[in-house]
């Protein structure tokens, strides 16, 4: 009988994400090998996400790992993911990981999963899927940015996205996104007299344009590349509507546009954008508590994914609430929103079983850890929101290219249900 690999040691250290902000890396030692996991962070975070770090920040989290967490986990078999994740909750003792930090917890959880995969001589995606997954996701790429990801005189809307819906492979789809990104840059040089090639947090262009002009540019670039490559590329948006929701005035305030829209007007506005630009994907069209509004948009939108990020925060209980109201038909999956791999898996399973499309997603403040690529394939997510350019984004794209090559003839691109 093969001896189980166990956790022999755990160490945490401070590193920096793509914005230069401190974050955490956790190192798990098993069978004298080291397995590391790094945690990203978001700029526009949902109210219902777990707490990223304890009071005292990353330094306090490192101390807690050494003094509190490691002694409890050393000696546990790395294959016992549920037991590890349950112990993280027990050690923390709060509902939102405010003692050890959700970013700390997910880094530990992921590092343990990497150790477990290695103990089985598997790549991480194989381990997560039990060796069953062979579907590569469609890459959802951010090509033009505004809101909290860009600032200044950029558009109010946070992300202008493209999704290749007719690509025959992941590599073909990834190349299409790169081509659209380049084309957008070319068109901005002609459209925005002040454009100097500036980019936001995720490598998306950050021009001095309003929402509609920005959409015109992205839609035009997607159409050009669709014709050039013979691949249908559709446009999507992440409005990040919670960032401009004014609770006191009960309205959405578009500062760049100089507009204010009530809840009903916001729904009509989003539906109008879907119709005009044939949008295939809209994320967070309303603020994070408006389940009923999400349900209305979902009911009225045609051939468009209505995705909840701040609405659901990768939380199975929030997703169940949405399912009951038919609010949205897709969900963003960000493991550090919930804190453990076990709960992330539970959320994805629930989404898949109820017809919601799980979208594995990066965060604006990313690291070069490529685990998201393995999670997307291992959890059978049809879409991965991973950016287009930038080293921390390319790390995931290149890892997916490796997985595609590794699978060889067994590889296929996931079916999109829109």
The single residue listed with the structure tokens 């262009």 is 205
Q: Which among 114, 148, 183, 334 is annotated as catalytic?
A: 334
**202 labelled catalytic:** yes
Distance CA 410, CA 132 (A): 11
334 is catalytic: yes
| Nearest in space to 375 (alpha carbons), one of 387, 386, 367 | 386
> DSSP labels for 348-383?
HHHHHHTTPEEEEE--SB--S--HHHHHHHHTT-SE
> Residue 157 in contact with residue 239, Cβ under 8 Å?
yes
In terms of Cα–Cα distance, which of 418, 409, 417 is closest to 134? 409
Is residue 416 exposed (0-12), middle (13-18) or buried (19+ Cβ within 10 Å)?
middle
Residue 42 pLDDT: 75
pLDDT score recorded for residue 2: 61
- What is the CA angle 369-198-255, rounded to 5? 100
- CB-neighbour burial class of residue 197 (10 A; exposed 0-12, middle 13-18, buried 19+): exposed
Give which of 206, 205, 141, 203 is closest to 392, Cα–Cα: 203
Spatial contact of 28 and 115, defined as CB atoms under 8 Å apart: yes
The one catalytic residue in 202, 283, 343, 404 is: 202
Say if CB 272 and CB 265 are below 8 A apart: no
Domains and CATH numbers, the chain: 9-121 (3.30.390.10), 135-413 (3.20.20.120)
Give me 321's structure tokens: 């609430």
User: Which tokens in the block code for residue 234?
Assistant: 């559709």
- For residue range 239-281, what is the model confidence (pLDDT) as tens digits? 999 999 999 999 999 998 899 999 999 999 999 999 999 999 9
> What residue ranges of the chain have pLDDT lower than 50?
1
| Angstrom distance (rounded) from CA 365 to CA 244 | 20
pLDDT of residue 193: 86
Compute CA 107 distance to the chain's CA centroid, rounded to the nearest angstrom.
16
CA angle 350, 352, 353 (to 5 degrees): 65
Which letter, b or e, does each residue of 64-73 get, where b requires 16 or more Cβ atoms within 10 Å of its Cβ? bbeeebbeeb
Question: Token pair of 166, please?
Answer: 């007719």
CA 53 to chain centre: 19
């Amino acid at each position: 009988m093969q001896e189980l690999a166990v956790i022999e040691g755990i160490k945490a250290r401070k590193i920096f994400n793509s914005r230069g902000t401190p974050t955490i890396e956790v190192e798990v030692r098993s069978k004298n090998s080291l397995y590391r996991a790094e945690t990203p962070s978001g700029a526009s975070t949902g109210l219902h996400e777990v707490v990223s770090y304890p009071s005292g920040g990353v330094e306090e989290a490192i101390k807690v790992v050494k003094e509190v967490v490691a002694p409890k986990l050393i000696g546990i078999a790395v294959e016992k993911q549920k037991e590890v994740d349950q112990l993280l909750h027990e050690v923390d003792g709060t509902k939102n990981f405010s003692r050890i930090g959700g970013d700390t917890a997910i880094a530990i959880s992921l590092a343990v999963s990497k150790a477990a995969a290695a103990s089985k001589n598997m790549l991480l995606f194989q381990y997560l899927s039990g060796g069953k997954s062979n579907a590569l996701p469609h890459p959802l790429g951010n090509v033009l940015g505004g809101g909290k990801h860009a600032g200044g005189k950029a558009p109010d809307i946070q992300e202008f996205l493209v999704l290749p819906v007719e690509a025959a492979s992941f590599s073909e789809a990834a190349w299409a996104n790169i081509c659209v990104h380049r084309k957008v840059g070319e068109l901005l040089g002609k459209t925005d007299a002040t454009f100097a090639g500036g980019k936001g947090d995720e490598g998306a262009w950050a021009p001095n344009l309003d929402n509609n002009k920005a959409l015109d540019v992205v839609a035009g670039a997607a159409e050009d590349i669709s014709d050039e490559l013979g691949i249908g590329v559709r446009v999507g948006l992440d409005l990040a509507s919670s960032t401009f929701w004014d609770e006191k005035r009960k309205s959405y305030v578009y500062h760049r546009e100089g507009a204010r829209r009530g809840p009903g007007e916001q729904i009509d506005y989003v539906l109008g954008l879907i119709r005009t630009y044939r949008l295939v994907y809209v994320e967070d069209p309303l603020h994070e508590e408006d389940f009923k509004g999400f349900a209305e948009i979902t009911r009225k939108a045609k051939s468009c994914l209505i995705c909840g990020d701040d609405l659901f925060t990768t939380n199975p209980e929030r997703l169940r609430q949405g399912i009951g109201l038919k609010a949205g038909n897709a969900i963003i999956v960000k493991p550090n929103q919930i804190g453990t791999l076990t709960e992330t898996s539970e959320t994805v399973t629930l989404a898949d079983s109820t017809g919601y499309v799980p979208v594995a997603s990066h965060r604006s403040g990313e690291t070069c850890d490529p685990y998201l690529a393995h999670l997307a394939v291992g959890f059978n997510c049809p879409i991965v929101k991973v950016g287009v350019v930038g080293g921390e984004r390319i790390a995931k794209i290149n890892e997916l290219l490796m997985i595609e090559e590794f699978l060889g003839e067994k590889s296929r691109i996931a079916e999109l249900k829109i």
